[in-house]
Structure 1
C-alpha cells in the first residue's frame, strides 16, 4: 500500500496508530477517523458516519491485510454500525465497541453473533473500577484508559479483571511517557498504545464514494452463487431506478415476449435468473455516472462476445458474460481487479478466468481481448477448438455481440 502519499494530490482516508506488545513489537493498528480535507473534527461528531467512512476508505486501499500490513486492525463501532453488515471478514478486523454503546438485549445478541462468526471484539475506553461491566464476558480485549486511573487504582482494576475474566487481554491506551509504559507492563497489561510509542499516521489516497460502495454491494448480492429467483428480484427492487431501467430493457426487441413484462418477478421467471443477474449487474455499473459511456459500451461488447461464443451452453454463457463484464471492474472502480474479486462471492471458475485466464472461461476472455486489440493471430485457437469453437464461430459471435451492443445502448434501459 502506498501508505503516505502526497496530501496535495489525494484526500485523507484515515489515521493509523500502532498497537504494541510488551516487547515493543507492533501487533496491530487502530484506524481512526479523520476529515478528508485534513481539517478539524466536525461538530457535532457523528460516530456512525465516522465508522462507515473509515471502513469505506480502508476498502479503497485494498483488503484489510494490505491496510494493516498483515496485522489486526481495530475499528470503532457504534450500536448502529454494529447492527449492520460488516464488509470485511474476521481474519484481521477487531470490532472496537465504543464506551457509550448501550447494553441492550439487541446489542448483546449481536456481540454474541459476531464472536460466533469469528470476529475479535474489544471494549474501548474502559474507566470502571470493578469487573461488572455487562460486555466483559462477551469481548476479547479491554482497552484501559490509563489517564483515568491512579497507580493503586490501575493495579486494583487489573487484578479484578484478571480474577473474574481471565480470558481477557488488556490494552493500556493513551500512554505518554516511558514511566507510564513501565507501570502498565508491571501491572500486567498485554498491549500498549499511546503518543509516547507512536502517534497516528495520516494515510492519504483516493476515496471511494458511497455510491460506488452501494453499487458494489448490489453487484455482490446479485452474484451470490446460490441466489434464488426471489432473492434476485428483491435485491433489484431495493433500487427502484434500477428496477425501472431493467423492466424497460427486458421489454426491448431483444427480450420481448408475446406480452409486455410488467414486474421484476415476472421478468426473472420468464427470462431466467442468470440472464437477469447479468443485465442488472450491467445496469448497476452504468450508474457510475463519472465514467464515460464508451467504457460501458466496451464492457458490454466484451461481455456479449464472451456469451455469444457459448450459446449452446446456457450456464457457461452467463458465466462468460459475467467474466467479460467483470474484467472491466478495475476501470469502473479504480481499484486492482484482484482486490475486487477477493470481496465478490464469485464461482472459482470465474475467479480463475479473471485473474489467470484459466479454464474455458479464461479462453473466452482471452479471445475477446485479443479480438478487441485486432490480434486475430494471437487468439488461443487451440483452446477454442477444445470447446468446439471455430474461426467462423468467432466471427459470427462478434457480429451478434455488436448487434446486441447497438440494441442495448439505444434502449431506454442502458
Structure 2
C-alpha cells in the first residue's frame, strides 16, 4: 500500500472550513517523466491520522466510492488510469467500474489460492489492468506474476545489486510485465531505477500525495443492507431491486452516476430507476451495494429520508393515469431533496446525473408536466392549497378531486413502504 501510512501533506490555510477529504492522489510517471497514471490512497475524511487498527476493506471501498461514484471522475483522473489498492475481500469478478479507468492493485498480503486466481482471471477477461504492490521478493517466483500486468518494486527494500537482479529476473521470465519502482526519495533513487530499466516511477521525490477534497456522500446503511438482501433473493426481479433502491435517494444517485460512465452505452436518457437497474444489471448493483455497506459513512436523519420518499410517492400518485409520467414524477420527487442529502447545490448534483430533460427541468425550474406535479406536491405538503398550479394540472387532465385522492393513495403507499422497510 504505497505510502499510505506516511505523514499527511500540508494543506493550505483557508478562511473557510476545509471540505472533507475524499482520498489522496499520487502521480505515477514514465521513463520520460511524463504523467501516465495516479494512485488513489485512503485518507480519513477529517484529514487526521490513520485509524488504528487499519481496515483495508473499508479503505478500498471508501476510495472506490468517492472516486468512481461521487465526484467528477474526469477531473480526478485527468484522463489517466487510477491505481487503487484491493484486499482479498474487496476483489470482485464484477466490479461496477470501467476497466479502462481502474488499475486493480493487489496488496502484498493477499493469500494466493484458487479463488483468488479465478477472480484475477475474470478481471483480466473483462479488461482490467492488474498490478502487484510492494514487491520485495528476491526472485520472480511469486504466484501472482503470471496474471499481472505491472509489478511495483519496493525500491528501499533492495540493495543496489539486489534491485538490479530482480529487474533482470522479471525481464527474463515475464518480458511483457511493466516494472514500477515505488517509494523513490531522492534524485539518485530515480537515476538508479531508470538505469536498471524500470518503466514507471513513483515516490516523494517526484510528487507527494495531494489531498482531494469534496462533500462526502452519505447513505442510509439500513437501506443498503435491505438492498443487499433483496439482491441475494433467488430469481429477484428488476422491479424488486428498483423498489429497494427507492427507499434511499442516495442509492439512486450512485446508481445513475454509474449509468453516466462510458461503459454503459445508451441511446436515450434515463427516465426511471427501473430502466437504470435493467441497464446496469443485478451483479454490478450487488457489487456497488457491497462497497457501500463496507464503507463507513454518516447516516442522514431518518425523517429526511421519509420526507423525500413521501414526496416521491405523492408525485407518482398524481400521475397515476400515465405510467411513463408517473415514473418520471417519482424520481423528481425523490431527488428534489438532493440538496438536503448532499449539502451541495441542486444544479451541480443534477448536472452529474444522466436524467431525462423533463426531470432536470422539473427539478430546477418546476417546468413541464413533471414540474407541475412536483410543484403540486410541494404546495400540498405546505398546506398551500390556493397556490397549487390548478390551470397546469387541468391541462394534464387532473382535477381537484384527483389531487385529494392521489394524496390519500400516497399516504397509504408510504405506510406500506415504511412497514416493508422497517422504517
TM-score bin (small chain): 0.5 to 0.7
Residues in 2 aligned to 1:73 and 1:140: alpha-carbon distance in whole angstroms = 14
Higher relative contact order (CA 8 A, sep 6+): 2
C-alpha contact (below 8 Å) 2:93/2:122 kept by paired residues:
no
- 1:72 corresponds in structure 2 to 81
Q: 1:116 to 1:410 in 2, by over 3 A?
A: closer
C-alpha contact (below 8 Å) 2:216/2:342 kept by paired residues:
no
Alignment of 1:173-212 (within 5 A): 173-209=182-218, 211-212=219-220
- 1:366 corresponds in structure 2 to 371
Deviations along 1:97-137, one digit per CA (max 9) or x if unpaired, are 01111111001111111121222211001122322221112
- SS of the residue 1:82 aligns to: coil
- 1:282 corresponds in structure 2 to none
* Cα offset, 1:73, TM superposition: 1.5
- 1:131 corresponds in structure 2 to 140
Alignment of 1:226-241 (within 5 A): none
Q: 1:297 to 1:25 in 2, by over 3 A?
A: same
- 1:297 corresponds in structure 2 to 307
Deviations along 1:181-235, one digit per CA (max 9) or x if unpaired, are 12222222221100101111223344344x4477468669989xxx965576699
- SS of the residue 2:90 aligns to: helix
- 2:318 corresponds in structure 1 to 308
What root-mean-square deviation, in Å, do the aligned CA atoms of Structure 1 and Structure 2 show?
4.3
Residues in 2 aligned to 1:327 and 1:220: alpha-carbon distance in whole angstroms = 25
C-alpha contact (below 8 Å) 1:309/1:397 kept by paired residues:
no
1:24 aligns with 2:36: no
Unpaired segments of 5 or more residues in structure 2? 1-10, 249-272, 278-297, 380-386
- SS of the residue 1:36 aligns to: coil
Q: 1:45 to 1:407 in 2, by over 3 A?
A: closer
Deviations along 1:272-322, one digit per CA (max 9) or x if unpaired, are x97xx9xxxxxxxxxx963474674365335533453252x4465345434
1:117 aligns with 2:126: yes
Q: 1:218 to 1:334 in 2, by over 3 A?
A: farther
- TM-score, structure 2 as length reference: 0.66
- 2:349 corresponds in structure 1 to 337
- 2:50 corresponds in structure 1 to 41
* Cα offset, 1:62, TM superposition: 1.3
Residues in 2 aligned to 1:89 and 1:5: alpha-carbon distance in whole angstroms = 36
- TM-score, structure 1 as length reference: 0.68
C-alpha contact (below 8 Å) 2:19/2:215 kept by paired residues:
yes
- 2:166 corresponds in structure 1 to 157
Alignment of 1:224-303 (within 5 A): 290-291=300-301, 293=303, 296-297=306-307, 300-303=310-313
* Cα offset, 1:49, TM superposition: 2.6
Q: 1:150 to 1:214 in 2, by over 3 A?
A: farther
Residues in 1 aligned to 2:222 and 2:308: alpha-carbon distance in whole angstroms = 23
C-alpha contact (below 8 Å) 1:172/1:192 kept by paired residues:
yes
* Count of residue pairs brought into register by the alignment: 346
* Cα offset, 1:61, TM superposition: 4.5
C-alpha contact (below 8 Å) 1:301/1:401 kept by paired residues:
no
C-alpha contact (below 8 Å) 2:93/2:123 kept by paired residues:
no
C-alpha contact (below 8 Å) 1:33/1:51 kept by paired residues:
yes
C-alpha contact (below 8 Å) 1:309/1:394 kept by paired residues:
no
Q: 1:148 to 1:290 in 2, by over 3 A?
A: closer
Q: 1:193 to 1:213 in 2, by over 3 A?
A: farther
Q: 1:189 to 1:156 in 2, by over 3 A?
A: same
